[in-house]
Structure 1
Amino acid sequence: MTFDEIVNAAREATGVPDPDKDSWQEGLQILLRDHARADILTEKGQAILKRRYVNALSTRMRVDDYIRRNPAVLDAPVERPVFILGMVRTGTTMASYLMDSDPATRSLLRWEAYNIAPPAAPGMTRTDERCLAEKATDEQMIKGNPEGVATHFEPADGPSECVHLLAQDFRSMMFTALSTTPVYADWILHCDMSSAFEHRKRALQVLQSTNPGRWVLKMPSDSVFIPWIFRTFPDARVIWTHRDPYAAFASSFSMRGKSRLIFNRHMDPDYMRCKWPLQLSLHLRRPLELARERPNAIYHLYYDDMMADPIGQMKQVYGWLGDAWTAAAESGMKKWLDDNPQGRFGKHSYSLSEWGFTRKELEPYFADYLRVHPVATGREA
């Protein structure tokens, strides 16, 4: 798997010029060097990752080409977007699905993340043939991998993470979870994310050109990159989800660790133990720092409160946002809750000890956060 192979495959797949800017090259080159050094990918894993890299670059090329041919899409700003962020496994998905159930919400749907251009025809975001094809694939995945679905499942026509849009600039936390990429894992925590966020905004402008609405965007790793949210979207509104970090940590390790076996000969737990605790702690540390500077810019949504009274919590969120709470929003959310009870696809079991961690060992990573948000329960699940 080489840089030239990926670029040439993307060119062949799209038939359009290379992206307008070369910011995507650095991250891809670092990833490929990491893969070569680690030599941990299975033949299947390498094929899957190569396909993902080609798809990411192809999507970027199509977006830039679409904008070259339709420059007016950039005239419409992305106004007052809502960002749902937090440590992984803290309820960001539930919050995003509840808000997506409001007809006034415009979400980034999973199928759209790699099918941005051309955008769906007006009113066709969930009936576009590309969406229907992804839904058919979902049905096969549910049958073939029920355990994976129990851990985390995003339907093709449900709200997805903007991690996929950032991946199209090859500056995405997603890549650190899939395989052993130690240099990339360090680089992504400190690199300039401006180009990735600019591409993200342009992608949203393409999508909203045919299907506008109030953007509600979910991505846990926005926590790590939170300064770029406000640099790119000055009128952004942020919802920060909070949960016992020890439980969230254990759940995250379980989800990520098991998914790594799809790509690698083994999980490489030493890599996970070395890189992920700091990464996950930055999901708390960086928004904590920004909240001190901009205390009115962030709404705090607590996992236990949301699980106990999701509709009541959503009403409070809407009140803080200043958005209208409508009968359609409430009925949509209630229907989603009825259709998606907790454990619908099975129970996800996890523990710290499974990964060789103790609470005491992790205390330094979470101490500052827990002094401000004392959400530790003493449970790991």
Structure 2
Amino acid sequence: MSRVSELLRQARSTSALDDFGEDSFREGLERLVDAVDREARLSERGRIGFDLQVVDLLVNRLQVEHWYRLHPEIDEQQIVAPLIGLGLPRTGSTALSCLLAEDPQVRSIRNWEALMPCPPPETATEFSDPRIEIAQRLVLKRQQMFPRKMAMLPSSATMPTECQTYMGYDFKSHLFQALWQVPSYARWLNHDADLVPTYRYVKRVLKLLQWRCPPHRWRLKNPSHIVFIDALDEVFPDARYWMTHRDIGKVIPSVADLYHELIRASSDQVDKTYIGELSAHWCELGMRKLIAFRDAGNDSRFFDIHFVPFQKDPFTAIAKLYQFLGEPLGAEALERMQAWRRDTPRDQHGEHHYDAADFGIDLGQLRERFAFYTERFGIAVSS
């Protein structure tokens, strides 16, 4: 039995289900397993962890399909004009996503829902669902596995998160290149993979989540979308976007350091130079695609936010964003956002320190490489 067949068998056995739905996920799964086995240089713990994570994704996909078979009316749900955050990672997008999620009139993907979307959440129990406690224990466990990650990317069971995991149900996600050294998979994903089925599956999961747990005004965020913007637009043609910006010399080394922190948990042989170039490559590729998309008649769908002024005063930017959307910023929403800001200081888990040179990154050359981006959006170099 092949490795992929064995993982599929384990998922079926674990879930007591056998229908994975459409086969679009299989190519990505096969390419990922092949790349991990040949390239990732996993430790024994890493090998076990990889198999467990793949099986967990497959089980969740089986459960999503099971709920659709039980309740085909779920597919009648509509995802209308979502607001999607994108741009480069490490630009303040997580903080903005958390602030926007405080509005009680909107919906986001919460960490516990990303980990276990089935059974679909219900309004009556969305704040007492037992999965919240399970997810919080997992967050604490990950803090032990990745001790520096909280300073880079704070997390809790109830805070909003990206759709990377749902993209993982189709096995086309930057989640995998961030967790394991898989250069052949990363090349295929970023240059050749068809992400339209992936985004259709993300929409499938969003329909499931809102079915019994409104509201239906989605606030989503995922920096990876910049690489796949055309596919995203095909599936969500009425989406509008906010885009955060920051000095590239702060962005790329920070992305590389985050990747390194994740990858070294499963491998004792981490190639930092590879991580540095991978981080720069996909960010450059994605930003060139995104600028082309904006310049092709889509610029009016975007609201831009710069890192430094946002850090000083996020509420001015948020008020302008609501004006851009043509939506009222309610008093309760603003009070909750202000409370989140007050209770979540930026450096509550310590400062994030890194050295670009550790990843083979020359900051002068990097800024020159990304001049097309910084000049387009007027991004200043920060100290």
TM-score normalized with structure 2 length? 0.95
Q: Which residue number in structure 1 is paired with residue 99 of structure 2?
A: 98
Q: Secondary structure at the match of 2:370?
A: helix
- Please report how far the alpha carbon of residue 258 of structure 1 lies from its aligned counterpart in structure 2 after TM superposition: 1.8
Judge conservation of contact 2:115–2:135 (CA < 8 Å) in 1.
no
Percent identity between matched residues is 28
Which one of 233, 238, 241 corresponds to residue 236 of structure 2? 233
Q: Which residue number in structure 2 is paired with residue 266 of structure 1?
A: 269
Q: Secondary structure at the match of 2:23?
A: coil
Q: Which aligned runs of 4 or more in structure 1 are off by greater than 3 angstroms?
A: 139-146
Quickly say closer, same or farther: Cα 1:135–1:198, change in 2 above 3 A: same
Aligned-partner Cα distance in 1 for 2:114–2:227: 21
Judge conservation of contact 2:242–2:302 (CA < 8 Å) in 1.
yes
Q: Which residue number in structure 1 is paired with residue 349 of structure 2?
A: 345
2:373 aligned with 1:372 = no
Q: Which residue number in structure 2 is paired with residue 80 of structure 1?
A: 81
Q: Secondary structure at the match of 1:169?
A: coil
Q: Which amino acid in the other structure matches residue 7 of structure 2?
A: I
Q: Secondary structure at the match of 2:59?
A: helix
Q: Which residue number in structure 2 is paired with residue 330 of structure 1?
A: 334
Quickly say closer, same or farther: Cα 1:140–1:44, change in 2 above 3 A: closer
Judge conservation of contact 2:196–2:232 (CA < 8 Å) in 1.
no
Q: Which residue number in structure 2 is paired with residue 207 of structure 1?
A: 209
- Please report how far the alpha carbon of residue 36 of structure 1 lies from its aligned counterpart in structure 2 after TM superposition: 2.0
Q: Secondary structure at the match of 2:220?
A: strand
Quickly say closer, same or farther: Cα 1:123–1:97, change in 2 above 3 A: farther
> Any gaps of 5 or more consecutive residues in structure 2?
none
Q: Which residue number in structure 2 is paired with residue 216 of structure 1?
A: 219
Aligned-partner Cα distance in 1 for 2:340–2:26: 41
- Please report how far the alpha carbon of residue 316 of structure 1 lies from its aligned counterpart in structure 2 after TM superposition: 0.6
TM-score normalized with structure 1 length? 0.95
Q: Which residue number in structure 1 is paired with residue 178 of structure 2?
A: 177
Aligned-partner Cα distance in 2 for 1:203–1:327: 31
Aligned-partner Cα distance in 1 for 2:234–2:145: 42
Quickly say closer, same or farther: Cα 1:265–1:357, change in 2 above 3 A: same
Aligned-partner Cα distance in 1 for 2:342–2:61: 37
- Please report how far the alpha carbon of residue 308 of structure 1 lies from its aligned counterpart in structure 2 after TM superposition: 1.3
Q: Secondary structure at the match of 2:139?
A: helix
Which one of 288, 300, 304 corresponds to residue 296 of structure 1? 300
Aligned-partner Cα distance in 2 for 1:209–1:317: 27
Count matched residues. 379
Residues 161-204 of structure 1: CA deviation (Å, up to 9, x unaligned):
10111001000011011111111111111211011001000100
Q: Which residue number in structure 1 is paired with residue 290 of structure 2?
A: 287
Q: Which residue number in structure 2 is paired with residue 34 of structure 1?
A: 35
Judge conservation of contact 2:253–2:276 (CA < 8 Å) in 1.
no
> Any gaps of 5 or more consecutive residues in structure 1?
none
Which one of 172, 191, 194 corresponds to residue 192 of structure 1? 194
Alignment of 1:298-313 (within 5 A): 298-313=302-317
Quickly say closer, same or farther: Cα 1:36–1:329, change in 2 above 3 A: same
Aligned-partner Cα distance in 1 for 2:126–2:225: 25
Q: Which residue number in structure 2 is paired with residue 114 of structure 1?
A: 115
Q: Which amino acid in the other structure matches residue 271 of structure 2?
A: D
Which one of 355, 359, 364 corresponds to residue 360 of structure 1? 364
Quickly say closer, same or farther: Cα 1:124–1:282, change in 2 above 3 A: farther
Judge conservation of contact 2:86–2:241 (CA < 8 Å) in 1.
yes
Aligned-partner Cα distance in 2 for 1:282–1:188: 12
Quickly say closer, same or farther: Cα 1:28–1:140, change in 2 above 3 A: closer
Q: Which residue number in structure 2 is paired with residue 152 of structure 1?
A: 153
Q: Secondary structure at the match of 2:267?
A: coil
Residues 131-180 of structure 1: CA deviation (Å, up to 9, x unaligned):
12212333454467542211212211110110111001000011011111
- Please report how far the alpha carbon of residue 301 of structure 1 lies from its aligned counterpart in structure 2 after TM superposition: 1.3
Judge conservation of contact 1:277–1:365 (CA < 8 Å) in 2.
no
Q: Which residue number in structure 2 is paired with residue 252 of structure 1?
A: 255
* Segment of structure 1 superposing worse, 359-368 or 229-238: 359-368
Q: Which amino acid in the other structure matches residue 357 of structure 1?
A: I
Judge conservation of contact 2:164–2:175 (CA < 8 Å) in 1.
yes
Quickly say closer, same or farther: Cα 1:57–1:155, change in 2 above 3 A: same
Judge conservation of contact 1:245–1:376 (CA < 8 Å) in 2.
no
* Segment of structure 1 superposing worse, 21-30 or 346-355: 346-355
Aligned-partner Cα distance in 1 for 2:17–2:4: 18
Residues 304-347 of structure 1: CA deviation (Å, up to 9, x unaligned):
12101111111111110112110011001000001100111111
Aligned-partner Cα distance in 2 for 1:364–1:22: 42
Quickly say closer, same or farther: Cα 1:145–1:194, change in 2 above 3 A: closer
* Segment of structure 1 superposing worse, 203-212 or 276-285: 276-285
- Please report how far the alpha carbon of residue 232 of structure 1 lies from its aligned counterpart in structure 2 after TM superposition: 0.7
Q: Which amino acid in the other structure matches residue 195 of structure 2?
A: M
- Please report how far the alpha carbon of residue 96 of structure 1 lies from its aligned counterpart in structure 2 after TM superposition: 0.5
- Please report how far the alpha carbon of residue 123 of structure 1 lies from its aligned counterpart in structure 2 after TM superposition: 3.6
